[in-house]
Every structure is written in structure tokens, then in C-alpha cells.
Amino acid sequence: MNLAMEVEHIIPVSLGGADNEGNLALACRACNLAKSNYLDGSDPETSEQVRLFHPRVDIWADPLPVRR
């Protein structure tokens, strides 16, 4: 299923992020709602807190794993 893309703030405005092109990215609605205003999350394999993907800094080398 394809979901519409929407503009989201990489660093949320509520956490001091700017409202300019350098802080905006496209995200599907489901991902954007799940991200909310978080900057990090818990790694399910290690339980460590890790920074969420930052599209201006990180390289998306590996696609998300396919769940079967």
C-alpha cells in the first residue's frame, strides 16, 4: 500500500528545530506519526537508546529488512 508523503521536521520545532528547508524532509504519514517529536529510540536488539535516522547526515545504505 502506498501512503501519501508529507513534509516533516527532522528536528521537531518543539525541540528547537528550525522551520526552514534544511530541517524539512519528506516522510510517509505513518512514519511521521510514529516519529512524533522523538530524536532517538530504543534499539530492539540491544535495548540501547539510538539516534533516529537523520536524512541530512546519515546514508541510507541498507533498505529496511523485509519481514516474512
- Please state the domain count of the chain: 1
Average pLDDT of the chain is 85
DSSP three-state, residue 31: helix
Residue 60 lies in a domain: no
- Provide the β-strand partners of residue 9: 24
Gyration radius (Cα) of the chain, Å: 13
Residue 59 lies in a domain: no
Residue 14 lies in a domain: yes
User: What whole-number distance in Å separates Cα of residue 53 and Cα of residue 26?
Assistant: 13
Query: What percent of the chain has pLDDT above 70?
Result: 85
Residue 21 lies in a domain: yes
Residue 61 lies in a domain: no
User: What whole-number distance in Å separates Cα of residue 8 and Cα of residue 11?
Assistant: 9
- Provide the β-strand partners of residue 50: 41
Domain holding 45, by residue range, is: 5-51
Residue 39 lies in a domain: yes
Residue 36 lies in a domain: yes
Q: What's the confidence (pLDDT) of residue 67?
A: 47
